[in-house]
Amino acid sequence: MFLDKISACKLDLNSKLPELNKKVVLDIGFGDGESFCKDVLENGDIIFIGIEPYIKGFSRVVEFYEKHNVPNLYVFNGCVKEFLKSTKIKFDFIRIHFPDPWPKNKHYKRQLINKDFLELLHISQTPNGMLQIVTDCTKYQLKILNILSQQLNYSFIDKFPLKFNESSFAKKAKKNGNPIKVFNLQS
């Protein structure tokens, strides 16, 4: 099982920092890892640090690393807040694609994106670092817009320089006819 395997791509909270001599992207919640692995392969000039608490997806990405020996990939199995509070890495790009929507009012507090989380992201970015948030949940889109309108750390930009492959959640959103909203932001 790749979850328990010792692998150079795995980061833990005490890991020595990898040598980061290229631009670094933080991918928050890469899910099943399928589109994430394609992005890693197609962007060898960028270092990807992926965070995922879901064990199956995490193990799949470690397996991908071991089989393809991709030097630009690191992963952390756990919560992104825990990771960011302990790391000294500053990220050129951060992306959050299809964060769990938790659409019911009683689960609202479980949503990852809120004012405090955006502040944590901001202090974890390089000057002029960029953030991309994608969601097909209309309620979440409105909440994000509302939070963004009340902060000064990020401004909207037209384009995000990093392209990405379509994930299983993106496919599902399209199939269901849900409106996908992409927020491209810069510090």
Ligand X SMILES: C[S@@+](CC[C@H](N)C(=O)[O-])C[C@H]1O[C@@H](n2cnc3c(N)ncnc32)[C@H](O)[C@@H]1O
Site residues for ligand X per CB under 6 A: 28-31, 51-54, 57, 79-80, 97-100, 112, 167-170
Supply the minimum distance, in Å, between the C-beta of residue 47 and ligand X: 18
**Which has the closest alpha carbon to 65: 98, 30, 95, 92?**
30
Supply the minimum distance, in Å, between the C-beta of residue 146 and ligand X: 21
Please identify, using beta-carbon distances, which residue of 69 and 123 lies nearer to ligand X.
123
Instruction: Report how far residue 131's alpha carbon sits from residue 143's, in angstroms, rounded to the nearest whole number.
Output: 17
Supply the minimum distance, in Å, between the C-beta of residue 28 and ligand X: 5
Question: Residue 76 phi/psi, 5° resolution?
Answer: -125, 130
Helices 34-42 & 55-68 angle (0-180, nearest 10) = 30
Q: Which of 27, 32, 39, 100 is catalytic?
A: 100
Please identify, using beta-carbon distances, which residue of 107 and 149 lies nearer to ligand X.
107
Please identify, using beta-carbon distances, which residue of 99 and 129 lies nearer to ligand X.
99
158 is catalytic: no
- 1, 59 contact by CB (below 8 A): yes
Instruction: Report how far residue 71's alpha carbon sits from residue 21's, in angstroms, rounded to the nearest whole number.
Output: 12
What's the maximum distance between 2 C-alpha atoms anywhere in the chain?
45
Please identify, using beta-carbon distances, which residue of 65 and 83 lies nearer to ligand X.
83
- 38, 59 contact by CB (below 8 A): no
Supply the minimum distance, in Å, between the C-beta of residue 37 and ligand X: 12
Of all residues in the shown chain, the one whose CB is closest to ligand X is: 29
Residues involved in catalysis: 100
